[in-house]
Structure 1
Amino acid sequence: MKNNNSDFLHLGNKLLHWYSQNARDLPFRKTRDPYKIWICEIVFQQTRISQGLNHYNNFVDRFPDVKTLAEASEDEVLLYWKGLGYYSRAINIHKAAKQIMSDYTGVFPSEYDEILKLKGVGKYTAAAISSICFNGKMPAVDGNFYRVLSRVFADDFDISSSRAFAYFSELSQLIIPDNVGDFNQAMMDLGSEICKPRNPVCLECPLNKDCLAFSLNKTHEFPVKTKKVKAENLDLHYFFVHRNGKFLIQQRKDDFIWKKLFEFPASIPEALKPFNKGSKILHHKLTHKNLTIEVNDIEVSSEEMWNDFTSKNEYLITDFESSLMRSFPKPLENYIQNRLKK
């Protein structure tokens, strides 16, 4: 695209006018506190607003500022993230809060390049915080930008390309107005409510008269994405070792999936295998991974063997009520809940 910005600037202004009348009434829209904008941007990266709003409210109620979050334990942060999934986001938020306390004397950085240095903060999030809270001029390019711009310009640039972010960042400059913060939020709302991936509500779109894909009846052809990551199949095996209402757990390390969450033992000695009462197969999907999880039910009837096994290993002994204060991967949490119902 080599057209001058002024040729398309009216599109950005139309979007701002639409946003002024149709912006979603969300609690974080009532603040310019960069801490709260940061938390909401991270929460809703992988979570629909309707699903994550209560989690966001509970999180900022418990951790209302950077200092409170930085001083909390990692386990407590993970507990308040419970139900949102993608727990590495919570770990990174905690690390970034400590980073702000140590590197920025507890004051949230205001410049895009400094925000980008925070743990777990990418270009989109840095641009959103910068523009909404500090009048920064960076477009918060994400899937909504890809979809809206691809359709408006009937642009077949492949969004799976490594150059997609840079390309659509430049393309957005054609329509971006002075009020970049509201423009970025308008693009979020338009992509979420109107210009949806499937079944877009084109007749209600403020840009439909300017949208080439709509005029050509080809909205379903945009955006173009050629590369699809094939999901990896992964098998996991656990042993639910229990006796008299108590069972064993351990905390995962911070590598691979489910960082720092709690799980059941992954192995047991031969002496405990005769106590196996059967197994249950669980299926779970992660981004780019299909999990098949086998959980073996090991009810140890011998107190001597229970004491011997627990004393020789570093497992934590917990019960069903106490387990509610720990963060487990969703399939294991469901397994525990189902046992509670028995």
Structure 2
Amino acid sequence: MKWYGLNARELPWRSTKNPYHIWICEIVLQQTRVEQGKNHYLNFVQRFPDVKSLAEANIDEVLLYWKGLGYYSRAINLHTAAKQVMTDFGGDFPKHFDEILKLKGVGKYTAAAVASICFDEKIPAIDGNFYRVLSRIFADDFDVSSSKAYQYFYNLAMMIMPEENFGDFNQAIMDIGSEVCKPKNPNCGICPVQENCLAFGLGKVQNFPVKSKKVKPQGLKLKYYHILYKEYFLIKQRDDSFIWKRLYDFPEEIPSELETFITEEKTINHKLTHKNLEISIAKVSIDDKAIFEEFARKNQFIITDFEKSHQKSFPKPLENFLKKEFEGF
């Protein structure tokens, strides 16, 4: 705690105890590094400064302000949760861990972070930093990939948690894990708890934490048709049943008579956390406006151009594909 008082990172959300802002920042940082997430966070809360403005916004605009952060289901869950706060909590952000946990997309770590930082609830915000820091301090080989790891390290954290300033304690562990007790090449020489760290004393810092399970990514093949008439092309919006919920992509099927318009085909490889994607995109250049518009109308596709497409959110590989096609990158 003394170390944190002197070395806490200066972050835009550290100057507030507004639970809405802390919630947004924690969701942003779930799959995003702090440096990358800072500006996205600031832009998002500037456009949606409170729960009401987020709840009343159109989902397409929410996704647009999430652009560049990836894992768009986070933005969809934020939008849903904001509506929950308005309907279930009368517009007041819930104040207790158990209530915050009811919000869509909020897990135990995020609920604990908000509850401790904003409402001074005594509850550890267990995440990868906690697992790493505590397993090294105690030279504890409990498997952090085990389904029982959360409760085990929760109990361990409660044993050393102070009797006040619970939010600062959680943020101190976060900063120690991020700045000092790193996964690789930890800065043990500047660590404030080095003399109490059993793993350091044993010379086995790199042996912890112990993690046995590793999820093997699954392969997934996708086929798209990039259907063009001059500078215009066709897009559609995904529903909630696919990995790219509510994002825009291209048609996935065409009738046999349009196959004669296929001019080239590209394959893009893209890695997600648990999936390796192989995306095939066939370019279909139609020179007849009537055929192009009739196909769009029949299948309820949206006709757009590159400039207008900036107002839509696409999966990263398709966004990159469009840039290369229209900007010549």
Please give the range of the TM-score, normalised by the shorter of the 2 chains.
Answer: over 0.9
CA contact (8 A) 2:77 2:105 kept: yes
Paired position in structure 2 for 1:340: 326
Aligned mates of 1:308, 1:92 — CA distance in 2: 36
Paired position in structure 1 for 2:269: 283
| Post-superposition CA distance 1:195-220 (Å, at most 9, x none) | 11111111111111111111111111
| Post-superposition CA distance 1:296-331 (Å, at most 9, x none) | 111101223213212211100000000000000000
Unaligned runs of at least 5 residues, structure 2: none
Q: Residue 150 of structure 2 is aligned with which of 161, 165, 171?
A: 165
Q: Percent identity, aligned pairs only?
A: 60
Paired position in structure 1 for 2:42: 57
Q: Residue 323 of structure 1 is aligned with which of 294, 297, 309?
A: 309
State the SS of the aligned residue for 1:199. coil
Paired position in structure 1 for 2:57: 72
Paired position in structure 2 for 1:198: 184
The reply on whether 1:307 has 2:288 as its aligned counterpart is no
Aligned mates of 1:199, 1:279 — CA distance in 2: 44
CA displacement at 1:256 relative to structure 2: 2.6
Return the TM-score normalized by structure 1. 0.94
Amino acid at match of 1:25: E
The reply on whether 1:83 has 2:65 as its aligned counterpart is no
Amino acid at match of 1:250: K
The reply on whether 1:236 has 2:222 as its aligned counterpart is yes
Aligned mates of 2:116, 2:271 — CA distance in 1: 35
Return the TM-score normalized by structure 2. 0.98
Unaligned runs of at least 5 residues, structure 1: 1-15
Q: Residue 26 of structure 2 is aligned with which of 37, 41, 66?
A: 41
Aligned mates of 1:253, 1:138 — CA distance in 2: 37
CA displacement at 1:40 relative to structure 2: 0.2
Cα RMSD (Å):
0.8
| Post-superposition CA distance 1:272-298 (Å, at most 9, x none) | 111111111111111110001011111
Amino acid at match of 2:121: G
Question: How many positions carry a matched residue from both structures?
Answer: 327
Q: Residue 120 of structure 1 is aligned with which of 105, 110, 116?
A: 105
Amino acid at match of 2:81: A
CA displacement at 1:58 relative to structure 2: 0.3
The reply on whether 1:207 has 2:193 as its aligned counterpart is yes
Aligned mates of 1:319, 1:256 — CA distance in 2: 24
Aligned mates of 2:184, 2:235 — CA distance in 1: 42
Aligned mates of 1:280, 1:241 — CA distance in 2: 14
CA displacement at 1:85 relative to structure 2: 0.6
Q: Residue 259 of structure 2 is aligned with which of 273, 276, 292?
A: 273
Paired position in structure 1 for 2:248: 262
CA displacement at 1:255 relative to structure 2: 1.5
Paired position in structure 1 for 2:167: 181
Paired position in structure 2 for 1:20: 5
Paired position in structure 1 for 2:137: 152
Aligned mates of 1:311, 1:160 — CA distance in 2: 50
